[in-house]
Every structure is written in structure tokens, then in C-alpha cells.
Structure 1
Amino acid sequence: MAFSVNETRQSFHQNDRNRVEVFDLQSDVLIYDVEKHEAVTTGRLFSKEAFETFSTFSPDGRILYFCSAAARDMPKNFKEIRYS
């Protein structure tokens, strides 16, 4: 089982009352081995240098796909975030 743990914030804009921005302050992917009952972590999925999110396994369960972006000072630099 894979899932992302995100610390998110929501912002409202004064100029457009319908516009809402949601952004991550940090984001990592965790893998939980349900047979061994243990969490599996690795630097590629759990680091302060990148935001990792939107994890999913391939149908056969052999490949983990996820999105990653270089970590930025949020919300100040939210426009610089580019997920893979």
C-alpha cells in the first residue's frame, strides 16, 4: 500500500471571492508492507528536498508511480512548483 502524507494549506484571494488555492508545505510518499506490517521509507520518496505525492502502483503491483517537484518555500514560491 502506498499513500502520500501532505501538510496542506488553503488560501482565499480578496480580488476574486471564488478563487481558492491549495498548496503543500511538505509532501512525502510512504509505503506500507501489509504482509510484514512495516513501513518502508527511502530518500527518493521521503525527503525535505522534494515534494512527493499522487502515488499509485501499476496493476501488477511491481512499479510505484508518483509525482515529484523540487521543494520550495511555500506559499511564497508556489508558482515555481512543477511536478513531474
Structure 2
Amino acid sequence: MRATAPPQNSALTTLRGDLPDRYLTPDDIAELFEVPKETVYQWRKKRTGPPGFRVGKHIRYDPAAVHRWACERMAADAV
């Protein structure tokens, strides 16, 4: 029998269960929050979304920072 690799989790399921072990891309953020990728870019431009950083020409997001941002948003909406 051949061993099979464990199933790959999407950013959505991984972040909910535990923080992923890699930085997230704009595509991951769009999938996570179920919004178009253009919305993610608008959040960045307006500085209203999760904090991201550049790696060369690429944007990446720290999963812990995204989680904090989401928690802050939920707390602000609960008030």
C-alpha cells in the first residue's frame, strides 16, 4: 500500500482551527473572508484591512495579525 499525504487545508479551515504555518497571500485573505480579491487590495489601499507587508513585489499577511484584526473587528461590531 502506498501512503497518502494528509489533506491540504484551505486558509479558511486552517485559520479557524489553528494558525497556518505560512504567511497568507491576498488570495488566501479573499478566501478566508469570502470577499473578492479586489476588496482585499482596496482594504490595503485604504488601510482598513488586516496588516500586510511586502516581500519583493508580493504582499503577505501574518496569520496571527490577521486573527487579531478579525477579533478586533468582531469586538468593535459587538459594542
- Same fold? TM cut 0.5: no
Q: Which is richer in strand?
A: 1
Give the shorter-chain TM-score range: under 0.3
Give the greater-gyration-radius structure (CA).
1
Q: Which is richer in helix?
A: 2
Q: TM-score, normalised by structure 2?
A: 0.24
Q: TM-score, normalised by structure 1?
A: 0.23
